[in-house]
Amino acid sequence: MKHVIALDVGGTGMKAALVGADGTLLHQARRATGRESGPEAVVETILGFAADLHALGRERFGEPACAAGVAVPGIVDADRGIAVYAANLGWRDVPMRNLLSERLDGIPVALGHDVRTGGYAEGRIGAGREADRFLFVPLGTGIAGAIGIAGRIEAGAHGYAGEIGHIVVRPGGPACGCGQRGCLETLASAAAVTRAWAAASGDPGADAADCARAVAVHDPRAIAVWEEAVSALADGLVTALTLLDPRTLIIGGGLAEAGETLFRPLRAAVRERVTFQRLPDIVPAALGDTAGCLGAGLLAWDLLAPAEPAPGSPAGAPPATREHRTTPPPTDPLATEVTA
């Protein structure tokens, strides 16, 4: 059975799958990233995980994987296959594509940025598949974005496009790891809400999910924390939609799991702030925390498909790159799961 390897590398854990040619998830697995052991150990963990999946696929399905896709955080040069920098993992200039291909008996490997790869999956099979222009914003430890434009995910001239989390929404506000103060992710990420609620509640173990539950039962301390985060998030999103004019705004990540506790006030706050701008549909992400892994699998299958111009590309334009194409696959990879 033809299949590919998909890996989504996070700061603390990795998600992986073997994905069939029709999009079926044939096998899924998770493993700790092990960043406490240092960047070299993290790279070796990734390579070892991929090798284990390669061997499992050969044993279970009678042939090796055709290709592999891997999504990693930080700064990524997808064209050269290099993981340039990741603060949470401590690496610099890792030739991830070549290292993986060598470990996997020379099969082709695609490398993608984690959020853009997740946005790629949302655009092809998730909440953005009906939208010609969308912005995917996962609210997790930090905040980033994937810009979907006419069938492509836009990486920017230097691979930095979509870094909405570093829009300054509160000048002079909390210090950010990027060197600025008052960045959106210091105020509206799941990590930021966790910090604020732990302080407000007096419980150092409390997190953003606890805050959302407290909001639902009308705890005034939680409401104050939540309103501050939603206000900052709305300011950042209005800046983004003013520049990008998306038709759909897709919100994902851990904070989006609060459902209407987040979306109801967020839609209202964005609506209050727009003037001449067109209000986009603001919807939850459809793929949850599997988006990066699913996107990595799609990247891998794209390596094996003939390059085609992306929908909406002008005549004579170059074909969409592996990371940017958003043509729907034959079936939805979430539809069937053979083994967990």
**Regions in the chain scoring below 70 on pLDDT:** 306-340
SS3 of the chain: helix, strand, coil, percent, to 5 = 40, 20, 40
pLDDT (0 to 100) of residue 12: 81
Helix runs in the chain, H state only? 39-61, 96-103, 114-125, 185-188, 190-201, 208-216, 220-244, 260-273, 291-303
Q: Which residues contact 298 (CB under 8 A, 6 or more apart)?
A: 69, 120, 121, 124, 125, 329, 333
HSE, side-chain direction, 13 A CA sphere, residue 293: 24
What does the H/E/C string look like for 211-245?
A: HHHHHHCCCHHHHHHHHHHHHHHHHHHHHHHHHHC
Distance CA 239, CA 274 (A): 10
Q: How far is CA 195 from CA 115, 254, 292, in A?
A: 23, 14, 26
Cα separation, 250 vs 267, in Å, equals: 12
pLDDT of residue 306: 60
Kindly provide the b/e burial profile for residues 182-209, where b requires at least 16 CB atoms within 10 angstroms of the residue's own CB: bbbbbbbbbbbbbbbbbebbeeeebbbb
Look at residue 89 in the predicted model and tell me its pLDDT.
Answer: 87
**What does pTM read for this prediction?**
0.83
pLDDT at 174: 96
CB 189 within 8 A of CB 165: yes
